[in-house]
Structure 1
């Protein structure tokens, strides 16, 4: 298929485009910033540009990974989030329906599921989050606009029969967290594989699977995160004494961490459950906390990317 990939110069795009080509697809990359996988420079907020790409490039399917993200809140006005995340998604959906497409995959985010109450982690137990969690009350403009984009996808399926898969990805960014200082870097990313992170490679693989399964599923929203070892029964203890719960699943984790100078999380306030993606989408992340511990035991490279100097390509060129 000839696949339009938005966000092709971004962190996900640089992994996803080669995977699609390896499966025999032709990839048409669209991004505001140049990149090795980007053929068209421009924004999905530009309806005329989107229509022209569909008309001139023979687009047969869309993977919509382009968006303004949470770190962009301090860089761009709210209207920019509406223009890109909401209007841009609408432009793509309408063009796809108009040209008779049978599949559309959109990258969304678990961030939209985190209300301020969940963010504050004030309860006595960790919050268990899956596709049935709610009510959904996004705490910022990023979450608000991604939720609106999800609903546009749902509407496109209901009104136009466009098979649409929404993938709510947990964290996979390579840079340091802009809100957590301790622990930092690789230690934080390793901890998050327990409950709120996946690798960029797994995120890309999930999009490839979703593209293939979309016509069969019709419409679906799936949370993507590394498989958690925890169950709902662990939630109270995870909040009170996370190392004790971790030790039951991984008895040598504390020693491996100590040898590396790392810290296990003392408390865990939320857990993402990606079981539905395995059951209905047929996708399960290849890398999890156990995989990371195997790397520590073998003194091998860690199975996730960490690049504190990473800067979004659009910021490197000053694009919006």
Structure 2
């Protein structure tokens, strides 16, 4: 696995080990689950990582916060070229499958609402808006074109945020890190699953709610998630007036039994 010293990679590697996998991790910096410290653009690092492996989980990348701080050429080198090289070396080493960790950010400008919240499933055509989106999509294409079966998981945002902000995000566009790790473990156990899947939270809305969510999200939340609404009221937090999008993970649920938690309610009820 790549990126094992990062927040997502460490959590995924930990859960894979708990599920019975023996993991070998690579990252630029040391970490508790990183056994190979080095740059994936180094052939020796890649070969040491994939030697004898059955499955490769590729999570290492430059991310959205690096946009504007890192040159576009570096994004292409790390996110695109290194991914292609890793896939090539994995094929040569006899790796049977690859799981590529992508991001819902690749939908880009398609996430901008017009007169209703955007329902974001895998049928929504991506419209990349920056170098991060462009390079993640290019890496997805490399994974899809590989001779070995591949799965791409477009994960929703799962980084720490202020509690009131995170509680709202978890209603429609964020996911718990534990659910991301569970998704990877789930797909790793299903040899026949291939394709691209959104990995997001368990939300109380349907596609039919999109107009109402854009016009009066507070009323929809009070109706569809009354316990969450009550938790917001008890803290004196306003419910959002409008939601711009809802991520849909139904395809992942159908393909490999992905079952995210009711994250917003769980978060608000934690001590």
Q: CA deviation at 1:80?
A: 1.2
Q: Deviations over 1:256-305 (max 9, x none)?
A: 21322323211001111111100112111124334345x1xxxx33xxxx
Residue 103 of structure 1 corresponds to which residue in structure 2?
97
* RMSD of equivalent CA atoms: 1.6
In the alignment, is residue 186 of structure 1 matched against residue 163 of structure 2?
yes
Residues 143-292 of structure 1: pairs in structure 2 closer than 5 A:
143-156=133-146, 160=147, 162-174=148-160, 176=161, 185-213=162-190, 215-217=191-193, 219-292=194-267
Q: Is the 8 A contact 2:228 2:264 kept in 1?
A: no
Q: Is the 8 A contact 1:199 1:287 kept in 2?
A: no
Instruction: Please give the alpha-carbon distance, in whole angstroms, between the structure 2 residues aligned to 1:229 and 1:250.
Output: 6
Q: CA deviation at 1:252?
A: 4.3
Residues 63-82 of structure 1: pairs in structure 2 closer than 5 A:
63-82=57-76
The alignment's TM-score, normalised by the length of structure 2, stands at 0.95
* Uncovered stretches (5+) of structure 1, i.e. residues with no partner: 177-184, 302-320
* Uncovered stretches (5+) of structure 2, i.e. residues with no partner: none
Q: Is the 8 A contact 2:158 2:174 kept in 1?
A: yes
The alignment's TM-score, normalised by the length of structure 1, stands at 0.81
SS of residue paired to 1:12:
helix
Q: Is the 8 A contact 2:46 2:89 kept in 1?
A: yes
Q: Is the 8 A contact 2:99 2:152 kept in 1?
A: yes
Give the count of matched residue pairs: 271
Q: Deviations over 1:9-42 (max 9, x none)?
A: 0001221222122222221110011111111111
Residue 60 of structure 1 corresponds to which residue in structure 2?
54
Instruction: Please give the alpha-carbon distance, in whole angstroms, between the structure 1 residues aligned to 2:2 and 2:184.
Output: 13
Instruction: Please give the alpha-carbon distance, in whole angstroms, between the structure 1 residues aligned to 2:48 and 2:233.
Output: 56
Residue 317 of structure 1 corresponds to which residue in structure 2?
none
